[in-house]
Each structure stands twice: as structure tokens, then as C-alpha cells.
Amino acid sequence: MRTVTLPASDETLRSFRAGEMILLSGLVATARDAAHSLMLSTGNIPFDVQNVPVFYMGPSPAPPGMVIGSSGPTTSARMEPFIPEMLRFGMKIAIGKGDMSDSTRELFQKYGAVYLAATGGAGAHASTKIKSRKVIAWDYLGPEAVSILELEDFPVFVAWDLHKGSIYTGSRSR
């Protein structure tokens, strides 16, 4: 297991191997269905998609004294309609849960992007690894608003690497 500070360089992304556990530190943007729809229909991506990973997550409200509530990933397959355009805009890292289609995996390969999996069902623990949250767009969407999170040692697995490895197909790259 190793810690990766974001933004990650292309060299760092190439070093990832499917199945490897990574502790992420740095900034990520949260966006789910409604936010993706707005970003792509308006052409306004309110964060640097080339350097800030997209985390498919909608947090629950923050309990008193906490930065954020439960912060588990959402099912990434729901984002597939938006992924081709996000990759064209330069997305290099997406974080979510579950496998997606072979055609989406091929697009990640084509654009040099990696897919990281956060553990579903562990949102309460994950929230302890989030040091700050700032809503940056579409606050009226509630948990689907676009936010910037500051992570510290946030655990993820490399789901798809740049060497055609996938934890979902059992193919591991060396």
C-alpha cells in the first residue's frame, strides 16, 4: 500500500496496478448524475477535470462537529453516459464502485485514465478521511452538488489500470 498525493502525474498513473490499494491525499471533486448532466449540457465544468479526480459520491449531511456525513461511492455504471465527454475534457481519474462496460474500459485505456474503486458500505469510515468540503456548483442539488473534498489517506483500490488490468475480470497486470 502506498500514499499518492493528488494531482497524480502521468508517470504515477502508469505505475498503478489493478488490485493495488492506494491511500489518496489531496483534492477530488464530487459529482453524480445530476451534476454531470449540468456540466455537460452547459459546458461548465467548475473544477480542473485534468488534475482533480471525479468521485462519484453524494455525501449525507454532516453531523454536528463533523466536516461531512457518510461518504460512500455511488455505482459508477450510472455515470457511463457522461464518461466519454468527461474523458474528452481530460478526466484522468474517476473514483466510484462497481464495474462498468467493456466499451467504457476501452475508453479509459484510449484516454490514459484510471478507474479507482472506493469500498461500498464503508461511507462512515471514509468520511473520517475527508478533511474539508466546499460546495462549488449547483448547491440546490443537495448531495448531488459539485463539491471539492480534501482527502487525507483515503483508501481506494486500482480497479482498472493503464495496462489493461481489471479487478473485475481477474486480469492483473505485472
> Coil, helix or strand for 132?
strand
Residues 6+ away with beta carbon under 8 Å from 138: 34, 35, 38, 144, 145, 146
Among 24-28, 66-70, 108-112, 128-132, whose mean pLDDT is lowest?
66-70
Place of cell 483534492: 27
Record the pTM. Answer: 0.94
List pLDDT tens digits, range 80-135.
999 999 999 999 999 999 999 999 999 999 999 999 999 877 788 888 999 999 99
CATH code, domain carrying 125: 3.20.130.10
Q: Which residue range forms the structural domain that includes residue 62?
A: 2-160
* Residue 63 included in any domain: yes
List pLDDT tens digits, range 137-174.
999 998 889 999 999 999 999 999 999 999 998 765 55
Distance separating the N- and C-terminal Cα atoms of the chain? 16
Domain count, the chain: 1
Residue 51: predicted pLDDT: 97
Residue 125: predicted pLDDT: 82
Q: Can you tell me the distance from the alpha carbon of 2 to that of 169, in angstroms, rounded to the nearest whole number?
A: 23
CA distance readout (Å), 138 to 44, 86, 90, 129, 150: 11, 18, 22, 24, 19
* Residue 64 included in any domain: yes
The catalytic residues are 36
